[in-house]
C-alpha cells in the first residue's frame, strides 16, 4: 500500500525508538520522510539507511525541538526543499522522572520545553504551509501517563496531558482548512526510554496490562500512520490509546 505517495512527512525524534518505527512505516507507504534528531547522528543516519536501502526516500535533520526559532527554520527548509509538507508527527520527547518534592525547576522546564513547547512551535510553524495547501495531518505522540498520571512523573504527565489539550484546540482551529490533528497515547513500549526499568518494575507493569505484554514501536507506528492517512479523513481531535488495554 503506497497511500503516502507524493506526500512529505516530518517526524521529530525519528532517529530511534517509536519515531524510527513511524519514519519506516510512512516511508514504506511512499512518503518522503524528513526525520529529526537531537544529537544522536549515528542513529539518525542508520534510520535513513534503513529507509533508503528498502527503496524509500528520507533525510535526517538535526535541531532541538525546544528551540522555537530552530523549529521555524526546520519547517521553512522542508517546504523550500520539497515544496510541501503533508504530515507532521510530533514524537520527540524526554522522560525525566523524580519525586515531586525533589524535582528541579530545570528538569520541569526541559520536559515542558521538549515535549509540549516543541510540538506547539512546530504546529504553529506548519500551520501556514498546510493552510495554503488546504490540507494536512498532524499527529502528536502523547502518553498513557498524560491520561492516568503516574507517581514520579509529574512533569512528564503534565507535558503529555498538555499535548492532548493542544491536539483538541488546534484540531478545532484548523479544521476549516481540512487540517486534521490527532494524538496517540502509547502505554508501555519497548524503546531506549523504557530500557532502564528493572525486571521487577516491568513485571509489576505487566500485571496491569490486559494483553499481558509490552508493546512494540511498530504497533504505535501503525496507529500514527492510520491517523496521518486518508483512511482517517473524518477523524480529528481524537486521542487513540495504544496501550494493550492498560487504561480504558
Distance CA 229, CA 122 (A): 19
With beta carbons less than 8 A apart as the criterion, state whether 192 and 93 touch.
no
- Least distance CB 184 / ligand NAP (angstroms): 8
- Distance of closest approach, residue 2 Cβ to ligand NAP, in angstroms: 25
Short-list 158, 156, 116, CA closest to 140 = 116
Residue closer to ligand NAP, measured from CB, 159 or 236: 159
Least distance (Å) from ligand NAP to the CB of residue 173? 22
Residue 192 or residue 230: which is nearer to ligand NAP going by CB?
A: 192
DSSP state of 176: G
Sequence-distant (≥ 6) Cβ neighbours of residue 72 within 8 angstroms: 121, 125
Cβ 142 to ligand NAP, closest distance in Å? Answer: 7
Pure H helices in the chain: 17-28, 41-53, 68-82, 105-112, 118-133, 144-148, 154-174, 199-207, 217-228
Q: Output the smallest distance, CB 40 to ligand NAP, in A.
A: 3
Query: Which grid cell is 13?
Result: 525524534
| Active-site residue, selected from the candidate residues 37, 156, 234, 247 | 156
Instruction: Count other C-beta atoms under 10 Å from residue 150's C-beta.
Output: 14
Instruction: Please give the grid coordinates belonging to residue 4.
Output: 503516502
Alpha carbon 144 to its chain centroid, in Å, reads: 13
Does the annotation mark 247 as catalytic? Answer: no
Positions that interact with ligand NAP (CB under 6 A) = 12-13, 15-19, 36-40, 43, 64-66, 91-95, 114, 141, 143, 186, 188-189, 191-194
Of the pair 55, 207, the CB lying nearest ligand NAP is at 207
Closest CA to 190 of 163, 210, 219: 219
Residue (193 or 206) nearer to ligand NAP, CB: 193
Name the residue nearer to ligand NAP (CB basis): 38 or 85. Answer: 38
Are the C-beta atoms of 232 and 180 separated by less than 8 Å? yes
Residues acting as catalytic residues: 156
Amino acid at each position: 500500500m503506497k497511500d503516502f505517495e507524493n506526500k512529505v512527512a516530518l517526524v521529530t525524534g525519528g532517529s530511534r525508538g517509536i519515531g524510527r518505527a513511524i519514519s519506516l512505516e510512512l516511508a514504506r507507504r511512499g512518503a518522503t520522510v524528513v526525520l529529526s534528531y537531537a544529537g544522536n547522528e549515528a542513529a539518525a543516519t542508520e534510520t535513513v539507511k534503513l529507509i533508503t536501502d528498502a527503496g524509500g526516500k528520507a533525510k535526517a535533520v538535526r535541531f532541538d525541538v525546544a528551540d522555537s526559532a530552530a523549529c521555524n527554520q526546520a519547517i521553512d527548509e522542508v517546504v523550500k526543499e520539497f515544496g510541501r509538507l503533508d504530515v507532521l508527527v510530533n514524537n520527540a520527547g524526554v522522560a525525566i522522572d523524580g519525586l515531586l518534592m525533589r524535582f528541579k525547576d530545570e528538569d520541569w522546564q526541559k520536559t515542558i520545553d521538549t515535549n509540549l513547547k516543541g510540538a506547539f512551535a512546530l504546529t504553529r510553524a506548519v500551520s501556514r504551509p498546510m493552510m495554503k495547501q488546504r490540507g494536512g495531518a498532524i499527529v502528536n505522540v502523547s502518553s498513557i501517563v498524560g491520561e492516568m498520571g503516574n507517581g514520579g512523573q509529574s512533569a512528564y504527565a503534565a507535558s503529555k496531558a498538555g499535548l492532548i489539550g493542544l491536539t483538541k484546540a488546534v484540531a478545532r482551529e484548523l479544521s476549516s482548512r481540512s487540517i486534521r490533528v490527532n494524538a496517540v497515547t502509547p502505554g508501555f513500549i519497548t524503546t531506549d526510554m523504557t530500557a532502564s526499568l528493572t525486571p521487577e518494575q516491568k513485571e509489576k507493569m505487566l500485571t496491569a496490562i490486559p494483553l499481558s505484554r509490552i508493546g512494540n514501536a511498530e504497533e504505535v507506528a501503525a496507529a500514527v500512520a492510520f491517523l496521518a492517512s486518508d483512511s482517517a479523513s473524518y477523524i480529528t481531535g481524537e486521542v487513540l490509546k495504544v496501550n494493550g488495554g492498560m487504561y480504558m
